[in-house]
Structure 1
Amino acid sequence: MNKAICPGSFDPITNGHLDIINRSARVFDEVTVGVLINPEKKALFNVDERVNLIKRVVKNIPNVKVESFSGLLIDFMKEKKIKVIVKGLRAVSDFEYEFQMSLMNKKLNPDIETVFMMSSAMNSFLSSSSVKQVAMFGGCIRGLVPEEIIPDIVKKIDEVHKNY
């Protein structure tokens, strides 16, 4: 079986992420969306919330599953018998960072390959950080994230603002 992983923090998942996941699902037999638990990052959504949001938006893609992980990506991949990492690239700056990560992963496990997919033009400017910032200031995030999770993002932003 040809398996791949799309790793990331997905805080929250954007239409750009979803585009890469959908396209990966057409190339690979099985795609795992690997939601990274990074204790050094202050996330808007906790890991369980992120996993649940992603599960809701990929529920109609039969060969995609969603799991969280902590620690090294290559250790998670070894446990799940996955050999390919799929990363979306928006710009040259993404490539520099992802290229370095790819080389490090290859050093840690020479059997792992990284496949880069270019984002579609309409998503090339999109990031979770920009979505959160737009939402935080009351801007419209329609078209930036899957429609069904907009209420979740707005509600979470409202909760965060109440605590300040």
Structure 2
Amino acid sequence: MKRGIYAGSFDPISLGHLDVVRRASLILDEIHVMIGVNPKKSAGLFDVEQRIRLIQDSLDYMNWFGRHKDAFIVGDFTCLLVEYCQEHEIKFNVRGLRAAQDFNSEFEMHLINCDIAPGIDTIFLPAPPEFQFLSSSAIKELASHNSPAVRKYVTPTVADALQNVNV
């Protein structure tokens, strides 16, 4: 079984994130969509439990995966990503790239991960044009102005959650 991890803050999860999950599901049998929790950083717009629910609900909403829900494991971790991978027999780290400048930092992290855990490889998935500009920060900015445009970039569940928080 080919297992992969797609880790991020997902605060909130966007259609761009879901596109990475969808395309990774064409390559991998099981994908861990995990929130990397750094206790040294602020909590974020949504707490971890809310983000987990929003990811799960968004995966339910996206019927185009063509995969059984059991192929997606959603949760969080506080250790190093490579440690999580080793504990769960994950061999692939999935990384989405919005623009060319994302590649440098992601590639540096790939090299460090390869040095620490040689059996884990990285799959880089460049964003299609419609998602290259999309970021959680942009979504939060739209939501802070109650812009209906936010619904173009997130699932209805996330859009509703954004309306109920003080962005």
Output the TM-score relative to the length of structure 1.
0.91
Residue 92 of structure 1 and its aligned partner are, at CA, apart by: 1.2
Residue 41 of structure 1 and its aligned partner are, at CA, apart by: 2.8
Q: 1:80 aligned to 2:88?
A: yes
Per-residue CA deviation, residues 85-142 of structure 1 (Å, 9 max, x unaligned), is 0101010111111111111111111111001001111011001111111211222301
Counterpart CA distance in 2 for 1:152 and 1:144 is 13
Residue 26 of structure 1 and its aligned partner are, at CA, apart by: 1.5
Gapped regions of structure 1 (runs ≥ 5): none
Equivalent in the alignment of 1:109: 117
Counterpart CA distance in 1 for 2:141 and 2:106 is 24
Equivalent in the alignment of 2:56: 55
Equivalent in the alignment of 1:131: 139
Residue 153 of structure 1 and its aligned partner are, at CA, apart by: 1.2
For 1:1-164, list aligned pairs within 5 A.
1-42=1-42, 43-59=44-60, 61-62=67-68, 63-139=71-147, 140-157=149-166
Residue 40 of structure 1 and its aligned partner are, at CA, apart by: 2.9
Q: Percent identity?
A: 37
Counterpart CA distance in 1 for 2:145 and 2:41 is 21
Counterpart residue identity of residue 151, structure 2 = R
* CA RMSD, 1 decimal: 1.3
Output the TM-score relative to the length of structure 2.
0.90
Per-residue CA deviation, residues 138-164 of structure 1 (Å, 9 max, x unaligned), is 22301111122211011113xx5xxxx
- Number of residue pairs matched by the alignment: 158
Counterpart CA distance in 1 for 2:144 and 2:39 is 22
Counterpart CA distance in 1 for 2:35 and 2:27 is 20
Counterpart CA distance in 1 for 2:76 and 2:152 is 26
Counterpart residue identity of residue 37, structure 1 = V
